[in-house]
Every structure is written in structure tokens, then in C-alpha cells.
């Protein structure tokens, strides 16, 4: 089955400031703020919602189609995707722009100042997925170019392709009516608990009204796991313990990849969500969203340890 992942491709450029921001800001001069922070390191990581989900799917031995845009500095990211057998077919190059980039400076108190340049993400990816069919495709609409999110969700409904709606950090940019339009007809709405509250507020819908418009609802809860909601039934999915928790950034995208892998394998939604939990556990063990590694045998072993069923059988 073809997995279609639309969203963003971005560079995360992470800097460390060897002090505390508050020590360099004069409260009485906050109205004319002009500060310079000398950082002691800079690392560049590959990121973006579509890139992160696709990378995790590649570790799960899937080859999803990425629908996104990239800019004139895309070469290193391009090589990275090719190393992981990920197709470039759905990536539109915008030569006059830089690839989207987040510039994150962290101080010794873990305070962060972030600047984000959307760059090429300002442009639609314009992919025409005429090949896709409802029986052989599944899609996820992750945060990225807003026009893409709207157009692809409309296209999936027209073709009766099952799609997951994952508005994430794009929620504040949408009107309530547009959010309702995109989630209506989706097979699944996924968000974290804070984002779900934003959806409630923006749309004016309550829990039951959202469930009536989408096939199911998954709410991720960080280290408390996730909740799968179908009609009046709520099933708790525990978090899978990591060997060490270094950086939770990107765990949600790992969860989505594991979930998609389970669905294309024909697993139930609960079983697929358990796979999402397992995949997320690997992500948090490294700094960065695409720095972790595992092979399928390691994935299934960790999965079985957590989700073994009575009698020695495993959920996987």
C-alpha cells in the first residue's frame, strides 16, 4: 500500500548559549530590546513534519511519498532522503528560496528563542496524485503549506482515499470553518491534548461533534501515552519506556509513522497506536528528530515486551 505524507521539510539549526537570557536583558529597557547572544555551538539537523514521518517509516521498511517543497540549500537533505530510499518525486524545488528553517537558541536554563523562516514552505507542492486509489493508498495531512493541507484533504475525499488529519502547529492559522471542513471525512484526527483544546475552541465543536465528523480521534499525551477514541469508547495506550529520555522533540512524528505502519499492515487502530507508541520511544533517545536508528527486529522486540498478550502471544 502506498503511504502519502504531506507536510514540511525543514532544517533545524540549534545553538547553545552558555548563560541565561534573563541575565542579559534589562527589564527597564524591554521596550527597546536590543540584545546579542554569543553562542558556543551550532548543529544542523534534518526536520519538518513530512521529513520526520517519512524517515521513521523508512526505518520501518516503508517507502512513503513525500509531498512538500524545498529550497536552494536542499542538497544535503536530498542526499539524506536518498540514503534512506525515500523518493524525491513529490518534492517541489523552489530555487529562489531557502528550505524552511528553524533557528533555535537554548540557554543554560533550557529557555529557548526560536526564529522560523518558512522559505520554500510558502509555496504549494502542487503534486497531482492521479495514481492513487482508495484501496491501495493511505495518506496523512501533516502541518505544512496551508494551501496544500486544504487541497490535499479535499483531493483525498474526492478519491475516497483514507487520510489522517494532523493539523498540529498550523491550528492557529485556520478559521474554525476550515478546520471543520478538513477534519470532516477524515479517517482519523490526531493531535496532542493542548492542540485538541485549540480545535475545540476554534471550531466550537465538542468531543462528540468531532467524533461524528471523523472516523476516530487519537490524542497523544506525552509520557502518559495516548488515547484512542472511537464513538463512545476510549482506549488508553501506554507510553513505551525508552532506554533513556534525551529529547522529546519529534516523538509525535515517530508515533504517526508507527501508526501508519500498523494501518498498512492491516492492524486494528488500537494495535496501530501501540506501534506508534513503540516508534516514538526510539525518537526520544537522541537529540534531533532524525538521529535515532533501529532495525525491525529491535522494534518488534521492544514492542512485544510492552504489549505482550496473555498466553505469551504478542500484539505485534
pLDDT tens sequence across 208-244 = 999 999 999 999 999 999 999 998 899 999 999 999 9
Looking at per-residue pLDDT, the higher value among 224 and 26 belongs to 224
Interval 201-208 mean pLDDT: 94
CA distances from 165 to 159, 192, 240 (A): 16, 13, 24
Gap between the Cα atoms of 263 and 162, Å rounded: 11
CA distances from 195 to 44, 216, 283 (A): 27, 16, 21
Q: Which pLDDT belongs to residue 167? A: 97
Strand pairing category for 100-106 and 91-93? unpaired
pLDDT of 283 higher than 50? yes
Cβ neighbors of 8 (< 8 A, separation 6 or more) are 48, 49, 50, 51, 68, 100, 121, 142, 143, 144, 145
Q: Which pLDDT belongs to residue 109? A: 85
Report helix, strand or coil for 5. strand
Report helix, strand or coil for 242. coil
Strand pairing category for 112-117 and 100-106? antiparallel
Q: Which pLDDT belongs to residue 133? A: 77
Burial (0-12, 13-18, 19+ Cβ within 10 Å), 211: middle
pLDDT band of 186, cuts 50, 70, 90: very high
Gap between the Cα atoms of 291 and 46, Å rounded: 9
Gap between the Cα atoms of 187 and 193, Å rounded: 19
Gap between the Cα atoms of 38 and 222, Å rounded: 33
**pTM (two decimals):** 0.92
pLDDT of 310 higher than 70? no
Q: What is the mean pLDDT of the chain?
A: 92
φ, ψ of residue 2 in degrees (nearest 5): -85, 125
pLDDT band of 313, cuts 50, 70, 90: very low
Contact 195, 167 (CB under 8 A): yes
CA distances from 254 to 15, 130, 286, 291 (A): 24, 28, 13, 12
Contact 284, 251 (CB under 8 A): yes
pLDDT of 65 higher than 70? yes
Gap between the Cα atoms of 133 and 158, Å rounded: 11
Contact 226, 219 (CB under 8 A): yes
Interval 46-52 mean pLDDT: 96
pLDDT of 163 higher than 50? yes
Taking the chain, what is the end-to-end CA distance rounded to the nearest angstrom? 19
Q: Which pLDDT belongs to residue 196? A: 96
Share of the chain above pLDDT 70, in %: 97
What are 42's strand-pairing partners?
Answer: 15
pLDDT of 314 higher than 70? no
Burial (0-12, 13-18, 19+ Cβ within 10 Å), 14: buried
Return the DSSP state at 98: P
Return the DSSP state at 97: S
Return the DSSP state at 131: T
Continuous H helices in the chain: 49-59, 75-83, 146-159, 176-183, 193-203, 207-211, 251-264, 269-283, 296-307
Report which secondary-structure segment, H or E, holds 102: strand 100-106
Dump pLDDT digits (tens) for 81-131. Answer: 999 999 999 999 999 999 999 888 888 887 888 888 999 999 999 998 777
Amino acid at each position: 500500500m502506498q503511504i502519502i505524507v504531506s507536510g514540511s521539510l525543514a532544517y533545524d539549526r540549534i545553538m547553545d548559549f552558555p548563560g541565561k537570557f534573563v541575565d542579559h536583558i534589562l527589564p527597564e529597557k524591554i521596550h527597546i530590546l536590543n540584545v546579542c547572544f554569543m553562542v558556543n555551538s551550532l548543529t544542523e539537523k534534518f526536520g519538518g513534519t513530512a521529513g520526520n514521518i517519512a524517515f521513521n517509516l523508512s526505518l520501518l521498511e516503508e517507502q512513503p511519498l513525500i509531498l512538500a517543497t524545498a529550497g536552494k540549500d536542499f542538497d544535503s537533505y536530498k542526499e539524506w532522503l536518498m540514503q534512506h530510499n525515500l523518493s524525491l518525486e513529490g518534492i517541489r524545488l523552489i530555487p529562489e528560496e531557502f528550505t524552511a528553517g528553524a533557528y533555535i537558541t537554548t540557554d543554560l536554563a533550557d529557555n529557548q528563542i526560536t526564529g522560523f523562516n518558512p522559505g520554500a514552505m510558502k509555496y504549494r507542492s502542487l503534486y497531482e496524485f492521479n495514481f492513487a486509489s482508495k484501496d491501495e493508498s493511505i495518506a496523512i495531512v501533516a502541518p505544512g503549506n496551508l494551501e496544500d493541507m486544504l487541497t490535499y484533504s479535499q483531493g483525498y475525499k474526492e478519491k475516497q482515499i483514507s487520510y489522517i488529519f494532523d493539523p498540529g502547529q498550523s491550528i492557529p492559522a485556520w478559521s474554525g470553518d476550515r478546520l471543520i471542513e478538513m477534519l470532516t471525512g477524515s479517517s482519523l484526527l490526531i493531535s496532542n491534548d493542548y492542540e485538541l483544546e485549540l480545535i475545540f475552541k476554534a471550531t466550537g465543536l465538542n468531543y462528540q461533534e468531532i467524533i461524528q465528523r471523523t472516523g476516530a480521534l487519537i490524542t497523544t499525551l506525552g509520557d502518559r501515552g495516548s488515547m484512542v477514541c472511537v464513538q463512545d469508547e476510549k482506549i488508553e495506550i501506554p507510553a513505551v519506556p525508552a532506554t533513556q529520555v534525551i529529547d522529546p522533540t519529534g516523538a509525535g512524528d515517530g508515533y504517526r509513522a508507527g501508526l501508519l505502519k500498523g494501518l498498512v499492515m492491516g492492524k486494528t487502530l488500537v494495535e496501530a497506536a501501540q506501534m506508534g507508541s513503540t516508534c516514538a520511544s526510539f525518537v526520544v533517545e537522541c537529540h534531533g528528530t532524525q538521529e535515532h536508528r533501529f532495525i525491525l527486529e529491535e522494534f518488534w522486540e521492544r514492542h512485544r515486551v510492552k504489549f505482550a498478550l496473555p498466553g505469551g502471544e504478542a500484539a505485534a
